[in-house]
Amino acid sequence: MQNTENRIIIIGAGLTGLTLAYYLKKAGKNVLLIEKKDRPGGVIQTNTENGFTYETGPSTGVLSSEELADLFEELKNDCSYEVANPTAKKRYIWKNMKWEALPGGHDFGAVTTPLFSLKDKLRVLGEAFRPKGGHPDETVAELVNRRLGKSILDYAVDPFVSGVYAGDPAQLITRHALPKLYALEQNYGGFIRGSIAKHREYIKNATPKVTKDVFSAEGGLQKLIDALTQKIGNENILTSCENVKAETLPVGFKVSFSRDTEEYNFSAQWVVSTVGGYSLASLLPFVPPAQMHHLTNTTYAPVVQVAAGYKNWTGIKLDAFGGLIPTKEKRQILGILFPSAIFKNRCPEGGALLSVFMGGIKKPEMFYKSDEEIKQIVLDELKITMNVHAEPNLLKIHRYRHAIAQYDIKSAQRFETIRHIQQQYPGLILAGSIRDGIGISDRVKQAAHIASEIIQTL
């Protein structure tokens, strides 16, 4: 066994593992990343083909944490941050066979929009005076119904939840899934009061870093992965590792795995897992099954992501971020992003790049459809929603069985179990999107915090 004191082993070289490794390496720590696939990056991957630069996983992030802003600042010489085109701010919602713009905060759209019922528009006026909810496990659907009304749930929150979680608002627990929304009601008495107070706080204390901008990296999110990988050093990232397993030692851990035909064993003082709940039982066989059950039973939304590229765009005007489709509209897809409208150089001049999302918690069967079936569904849906009748010049299908962890009723028990396991086995950290949020910003924030914790201890 290769024995090195104070080694930190990170399992999983997605954005969480890479960010953590970057900060540990920067602090001079002995860090080793162990990855199952043949490349680092996890679900983030950008490909360039035939004049199109498309993402196969996440397309955008939101600059909603200082930690993410700091990371971009650190990497600025290797990776340029790209803010979404201001002309692509609008969000469309599909209703009665056409796109309607989701009202923004500063216009009369909220009054005139056909998305919401008159009754709910009037209800919104009284939102500030509605009492606080008292049930900590209230779902997003229950909370929105109670404070705003059914049409706002159906035509704003349901599609938003599809866009973020590929989830179901009736299953997501607000305090876990949308903690900022939950806090608006709990801390300020309502969404309107809370939003006004938050805006005032923001102006007063403005951390200019947390801009809430939608972003990518110039050339795609892969550039962020490449920059992190380069800083960490390839010698510290082992890819194509199979049967990764940790065991406890009297002090620290032993991590074993196979790679090509060789078996490897490393000792480590810290082991940080960033993998999904479904991978943990084989990775941590020493954790009793009764505890492990609360991690492996994490619900995941399956997602099929389809990149569709057109060299000569003839469909509707792409003047928005994209469009989301409420469940009530009973279509086969969850939504469409317009990456070529949001970012530069994603398609040939005069063309378009779309990113279509399908499946999710409400339509998991999409994951099991053949490529031919997926292609047909996408073409049919794009004809109706985007008025495009030509075949795309590029069509790439990517399936994720475990795309997005759901912060549902099982989450509280999961978080509690993670706390217990970490106390039982000092030096073991269970990270990744099984806790602390699922977005890019959440992942970087979690990694930065774990890095500080380890650096302070070692």
Ligand X SMILES: Cc1cc2nc3c(=O)[nH]c(=O)nc-3n(C[C@H](O)[C@H](O)[C@H](O)COP(=O)(O)OP(=O)(O)OC[C@H]3O[C@@H](n4cnc5c(N)ncnc54)[C@H](O)[C@@H]3O)c2cc1C
Positions touching ligand X (CB under 6 A) are 11-17, 34-37, 42-44, 57-61, 241, 244, 274-275, 279, 283, 303, 305, 400, 403-404, 432-433, 438-440, 443
Nearer to ligand X, 157 or 241 (CB): 241
Nearer to ligand X, 148 or 342 (CB): 342
Nearer to ligand X, 173 or 434 (CB): 434
Residue 110: CB minimum distance to ligand X, A: 26
Nearer to ligand X, 64 or 174 (CB): 64
Residue 254: CB minimum distance to ligand X, A: 15
Residue 386: CB minimum distance to ligand X, A: 20
Residue with tokens 């990776």: 79
Residue 330: CB minimum distance to ligand X, A: 23
Beta-carbon-side half-sphere exposure of residue 63 (alpha carbons within 13 Å)? 21
Residue 273: CB minimum distance to ligand X, A: 8
Which phi and psi (to 5°) does residue 78 adopt? -115, -15
Task: Please give the order of strands across the beta sheet that includes 242-248.
Answer: 242-248, 253-259, 262-268
Is the CB of residue 146 less than 8 Å from the CB of residue 129?
A: no
Nearer to ligand X, 381 or 436 (CB): 436
User: Measuring CA to CA, how many Å separate 293 from each of 12, 288, 298, 302?
Assistant: 21, 9, 9, 20
Nearer to ligand X, 121 or 435 (CB): 435
Residue 439: CB minimum distance to ligand X, A: 3
Residues 257, 277, 403, 406: what is their CA dihedral angle, to the nearest 10 degrees? -170
Residue 408: CB minimum distance to ligand X, A: 17
Q: According to DSSP H, which parts of 56-190 are helical?
A: 66-74, 109-112, 118-125, 140-147, 150-152, 158-165, 174-177, 179-188
Nearer to ligand X, 39 or 198 (CB): 39
Strand partners, 430: 273
Is the CB of residue 442 less than 8 Å from the CB of residue 62?
A: no
Is the dihedral angle over the CA atoms 364, 368, 370, 371 positive or is it negative?
A: positive
